[in-house]
Structure 1
Amino acid sequence: MHAYSWSRPARTAGTERARTVEEVFGLTPERYAEVPVLDRVPLPGTGITYVTGYSGTGKSVLLRLFLADHPEAHVPGEVTDDRPLIDLFDLPLPDTLQLLGQVGLGEAFTYLTPYHRLSDGQRARARLALAYASGHRLLVIDEFLSTVDRVSAAVVAYGFQKFCRRNGVSAVVATAHGDLGDQLGPDHTVVLDYNGAKTVTTGPGIATAPFRDTTVIRPGEPADYESMERFHYMGGLDVPVEAFDMEVHVAEVNGVVAAAKVLSPPYPRSWERHSVFRDVNEALTVSRRTVVHPVFRSVGLAGRLCDPALAARPAVFIRSALGRFQPFPLSAGYTEVEVDTAQNTELARRADELAAGGLKGLGAAERALLRERAVQMLTAEYHQYRDIAGLPALEPPADRSVRTWFARCVEVMDEERLATVVKPFPMAGFVSRSSAGVDETVARAASASASESVHVAGQPGVTL
């Protein structure tokens, strides 16, 4: 580890005014030829080093001296490319999405936003991702998060150190703000004062998630999700709130809703008059939406809201397109499963071909094929729900009745809704099961008739 010293010249070759100042204050060349700024300041090239102190104490000079000694170090710079962020990476798309997720930019709208339209905090995250993608493993950053509000700075600093440590990146960061020590968890801290004074400490290299002690997980209302739905790639809920027993949970940071999760049983409340749907609804919770405000991404709020203990039923099922690249439920103890859409079938292939060509102006035969595919997908989904909930398989008469029920529902779908149901939409699935709760539910289901038929004659169409 090299130690750096540097002094600033205090006088220049004399002008008449400069000589007058020297005489008035009695400044002699011997004493004031130079003013010490850095005095044997050690700066390691590994781990995370946090340099802070008043403006004018030599932080920027220290970084320049360090860079002269470490040609392999990289200074992340601004980006002038106007393409969407996702196009700035020379990596396969799945790797790029995974990388952006690690730095807290895992959101569909952000992927498509040019760098210059990002916020200051998002730009800092993007520069980290770009530096890593370019192969740099030693970063030097002056004015680290200096222009960012302190809430965002705490969040970005925590995500920064987490990414660096996970991926073997070392960093030297400098800023006049001394409030990031807990979130960075630096391995080395250098606090500079005037005239060469300094404090150098070695820390445990353990960071503290910001707002950990001031975050409250509490029950919420659908309005809490609605206030944040613009930040979710799918927008509003895809089922009518009044038809389901909705549960909403929010993460509140310092009195502000920072994240929301919406849960419900799989099927509408009115369907529970039939035991085949009632059994599933009593045993299984599905996650409808999870959304985190962009400022608070990467501090673990999504994982906390995925806690299975928050759900009212013993089994929980999460489906997420984003989860294919950022499997956030795994941190909450979930197991990844394949989402069953009966995709590997001839009917699926034919429906996909129709969907690829556009669903407007289809003939009666094509619409019938799409309705048949929708029934196939809804039935496969139902069977997966039973399996996740630990419920026994249906006897053939009840299984046929379930298919008939779905066929009736599909008959009353308009073309737009039908297109949504059959559109291929790859998602990752995640399951959590409480064995005690599942066993109890299975026992109740077994006591009911396993061959109950679902009577659909005369029933009004129900929006799924």
Structure 2
Amino acid sequence: MKFIILLDRFNKKIFRVDKSFSTKSIITDRTVAVAEAFGIGIDERKFDVFKNFIININKGDIVYITGESGSGKSVLLRELIEQMRKSEEFGRLMTDNELRIDDDEVLVHGVGNSVEEALYYLSMAGLNDAFLFLRRYKELSDGQKYRYKIAKMLAMNADVFVFDEFCSTLDRETARIVSFLLQKNARRNNKTVLVATTHEDLFYDLSPNVHVRKNFGDDVEVNYYNDVNKECSLVKNVRIREGNYKEYLNFEKFHYRAKKPFGIRKIFIMEINDKPIGCIVYSISPLSCKPRNHYLNHVPDAEEINRDFLTISRVIIHPKYRGIGLGARLVRETLPLVNAKYVEAIAVMAKYNPFFERAGMLKVNCEEPEWKERMRKFLNSLERYGLSSALMSSIEYNMSILKNLRKEDYENLVDEILKHGSIMIFGDQYKRKILSREMIKEDMMNSIKNTAIALSKASIKAQRKMYYIWEKR
């Protein structure tokens, strides 16, 4: 039995599927005895899985195929794959099983043609975390592995994404998050998605254009939809409340700057079903800030800054819940609660994840000091030693590269750092110390950690940061 409900669908591509299987048992004493006992034959029999089945799929559709194990979901998926690959209209098709991922693959190296591209695609898939960028595939959770596959497919410019047994190994909350991320990015980039699964609970978050429910035999039900859900189903259960420093400490490990923010004034906690999943920290604002002066058209004194300004020093969402708009919501809903005329934020990752803008804050462009560009050029020049300027803010990363350099190469690197000179003011280990160049070189030659710290500090200072401001109206 077949039910097909057609909505108005333009430029539709019709797919026809006929699939059956024949079975024939071997003749033995036992098979004959079974046949006689149940009154069945042992000759060849034909079973229809799809009979004159018709489905229309447009480019850019999300196709959700559900049904019990053994009902024929994977059969339909294989038939659609075969026909789509013959159609130029759908472009390049890739299945999750065709992705080649080495277990030791480092995320930032496995996606895109450059560090910039890698961070862009990883952020799109909700893997927007400095620590995650440096992790190996084998170190990821199952949910993060699905996100990584989505990022790779986007980066490899596939036009059709295919997942069999979609999210079958994930807990249902993570499965809903991954489903929402997949459809959001697919629609944003006009990609076609085919997924097959036994789970019916992903309908809301996948928001499919086509839902195929495969029953046993040739019984198939097909429904077509035009509505798209703009939010993940989990956000319906979100609550934000005021928190404290002890609660913030539970999230500190998920932020790349795992130190206490200076001058904390307010902390808010985000919960889903009473489970804390994120926090935001508001702190006192720095006295000096060029973009602030640019926005105000004057240089505020300390009294005005302390009276009217707060800065967002941390926005942390648990890695499991990233990519579904919770960061922007946490900012947007707490801005009016802090009783400040102005709220500022300075972000490094905003280029890839502009959630401050989505929360209603204004980006203020301001010319950078010249020394920052000189510093970046110098750090980029160190790539010939195997150092990536995009990752140099990590002390651990720097040490992993430095310890593998030959002694003469390491000495040449130290000499270049000393020639540059200004890099040394960013190394905490040399602050307020009067040391000769020879003494510093000896110190760095004896300790790669000191060199790693100096490079990290220089990298952080040289980062392109974006300034955002919100004004209470």
TM-score range, shorter chain: 0.7 to 0.9
Aligned to 1:391: none
Tell me if structure 2 keeps the 8 A contact 1:45–1:138.
no
Aligned to 1:316: 343
After superposition, where does 1:23-422 map in structure 2 within 5 Å? 23-28=36-41, 33-39=45-51, 40=53, 42=55, 44=57, 46=59, 47-71=61-85, 72-76=92-96, 77=99, 79-80=101-102, 82-207=104-229, 208-239=231-262, 244=263, 246-266=265-285, 276-307=301-332, 308-338=335-365, 342-343=369-370, 353-357=420-424, 359=427, 360=429
Q: 1:43 to 1:16 in 2, by over 3 A?
A: farther
Of stretches 32-41 and 353-362 in structure 1, the one that deviates more from structure 2 is: 353-362
Aligned to 2:408: none
Tell me if structure 2 keeps the 8 A contact 1:103–1:128.
yes
Aligned to 2:28: 15
Corresponding residue SS for 1:195? coil
Paired letter, 2:257: M
Aligned to 1:409: none
Question: What's the CA shift string for 1:393-432, capped at 9, x where partnerless?
Answer: xxxxxxxxxxxxxxxxxxxxxx99xx79994343221122
Q: 1:120 to 1:346 in 2, by over 3 A?
A: closer
Aligned to 2:465: 427
Tell me if structure 1 keeps the 8 A contact 2:232–2:324.
yes
Aligned to 2:412: none
Tell me if structure 1 keeps the 8 A contact 2:31–2:42.
no
Report the Cα distance in structure 2 between the residues aligned to 1:14 and 1:187, rounded to whole angstroms: 48
Of stretches 7-16 and 180-189 in structure 1, the one that deviates more from structure 2 is: 7-16
Of stretches 347-356 and 255-264 in structure 1, the one that deviates more from structure 2 is: 347-356
Question: What's the CA shift string for 1:12-48, capped at 9, x where partnerless?
Answer: 3433322222222222478x81222233152626310
Could you tell me how far 1:119 is from its partner in structure 2?
A: 1.0
Question: What's the CA shift string for 1:196-218, capped at 9, x where partnerless?
Answer: 21211112241341212211011
Tell me if structure 2 keeps the 8 A contact 1:226–1:236.
no
Q: 1:135 to 1:324 in 2, by over 3 A?
A: closer
Q: 1:70 to 1:9 in 2, by over 3 A?
A: same
Could you tell me how far 1:313 is from its partner in structure 2?
A: 0.8
Report the Cα distance in structure 1 between the residues aligned to 2:244 and 2:196, rounded to whole angstroms: 42
Corresponding residue SS for 1:299? coil
Q: TM-score, normalised by structure 1?
A: 0.73
Report the Cα distance in structure 2 between the residues aligned to 1:318 and 1:177, rounded to whole angstroms: 41
Report the Cα distance in structure 2 between the residues aligned to 1:33 and 1:347, rounded to whole angstroms: 77
Paired letter, 1:38: F
Q: 1:290 to 1:420 in 2, by over 3 A?
A: farther
Could you tell me how far 1:341 is from its partner in structure 2?
A: 6.8
When the two chains are superposed, the root-mean-square deviation of aligned CA atoms in Å is 3.1
Q: 5+ residue gaps in structure 2? A: 1-13, 86-91, 288-299, 379-417, 437-452
Corresponding residue SS for 1:79? coil
Q: 1:431 to 1:353 in 2, by over 3 A?
A: farther
Paired letter, 1:220: G
Could you tell me how far 1:245 is from its partner in structure 2?
A: 5.2
Corresponding residue SS for 1:196? coil
Q: 5+ residue gaps in structure 1? A: 269-274, 368-414, 437-464
Could you tell me how far 1:169 is from its partner in structure 2?
A: 0.9
Tell me if structure 1 keeps the 8 A contact 2:264–2:281.
no
Question: What's the CA shift string for 1:91-149, capped at 9, x where partnerless?
Answer: 22222211111111111111101112111111111111111211211111101111011
Tell me if structure 2 keeps the 8 A contact 1:329–1:430.
yes
Report the Cα distance in structure 2 between the residues aligned to 1:354 and 1:339, rounded to whole angstroms: 26
Question: What's the CA shift string for 1:52-92, capped at 9, x where partnerless?
Answer: 11111011111111222122421123512523110012422
Report the Cα distance in structure 2 between the residues aligned to 1:18 and 1:172, rounded to whole angstroms: 40
Q: TM-score, normalised by structure 2?
A: 0.72
Q: 1:171 to 1:332 in 2, by over 3 A?
A: same
Q: 1:5 to 1:355 in 2, by over 3 A?
A: farther
Question: What's the CA shift string for 1:147-184, capped at 9, x where partnerless?
Answer: 01111111111111101000111110001111100000
Larger Rg: 1
Paired letter, 1:250: I
> Which structure 1 residue ranges, 4+ long, deviate > 6 Å from structure 2?
345-352, 362-367, 419-422
